[in-house]
Every structure is written in C-alpha cells, then in structure tokens.
Amino acid sequence: MIYTLGYTRRFPASHVLQDHAFCGKLHGHSWRVRVIVRGDPDPETHNLVANDIDFFDRLNALTEEIANRHLNDMLPGIIPSAQGVAGWYWERLSLHYRIDEVTVWQDDLQASLRRE
C-alpha cells in the first residue's frame, strides 16, 4: 500500500519571462509550492513515508534560497515559470525522496503540476 506525505510553503519572488505577453516585464508573485512524497510506511519514521521534520526542513531550505529574490538570477538555466520552478524543486528533492508530485502556483491564478 502506498501512502503520501506533503507540505506546502509560500514565498514572494520576482521574475521576467522574455517575450511573454503578461510576464515580459519585471514583476513579482506570491508563489506557493506543494511537494508530495510517496512510499510505504516506515516504522523508523512513525509509519510515515519519510521523516516529516527532515522533509519539511529540506523543503523550507530550498524555499528560503529563492524567497524574496529574482528567480531569473537564482535559477540559472531554468525558465522561471511555474513549470520551471516545479522542475527545480523536483530535481533537488528527488535526490532524497520518492516524489509523487510538485505543484507551484503563481499567486492564486495559475498552477503547474509535475507528476511521476
């Protein structure tokens, strides 16, 4: 049986999407990210799929890296859209966890979901 564990974090950040009708000029969003990991219950983590404190701390540390920053500068080589930010979280956290999905919202208007 597969279970999931997820956390959500919010952060403000700016970006520019070159040649984009709405995001082509410097502006900011109140971003939100939700990361869900999956797996079997583990007796060493109180039957959770991962150590919840470790998982939250890693997600929080990544979020703090880009909070209140300009994403174009902080994520070189990545298009700083909701989809690009979701991929960045996925790549970083998949080194430690079996990721089920990552959802990133730009404000409450648009979201991008990356799923296994």
Q: Which pTM value belongs to this model? A: 0.94
Q: What is the pLDDT of residues 9-19, one digit of tens each?
A: 999 999 999 99
- Domain with 77 in it: 3-115
Picking from 12, 109, 1, the residue whose alpha carbon sits closest to that of residue 70 is: 12
- Quick check: helix, strand or coil at residue 94? coil
CA distances from 15 to 8, 70, 100, 107, 108 (A): 21, 6, 27, 13, 16
3-state secondary structure of 33: strand
The residue that leads in pLDDT, 21 or 62, is 62
Give the confidence band of 104 by pLDDT, cuts at 50, 70, 90.
Answer: very high
Domain count, the chain: 1
* pLDDT > 70: percent of the chain: 100
* Average pLDDT value over all residues in the chain: 95
Q: What is the CATH number of the domain that holds 56?
A: 3.30.479.10
Torsion, Cα of 97, 100, 54, 14 (10° steps) = 110
Binned at pLDDT 50, 70 and 90, residue 6 comes out as very high
Q: Give the pLDDT confidence score for residue 116 in this predicted structure.
A: 80
Beta strand extents in 16-98 (DSSP E only):
27-39, 69-70
Q: Is the pLDDT of residue 1 over 80?
A: no
Q: Please report the pLDDT score of residue 4 as a whole number.
A: 94
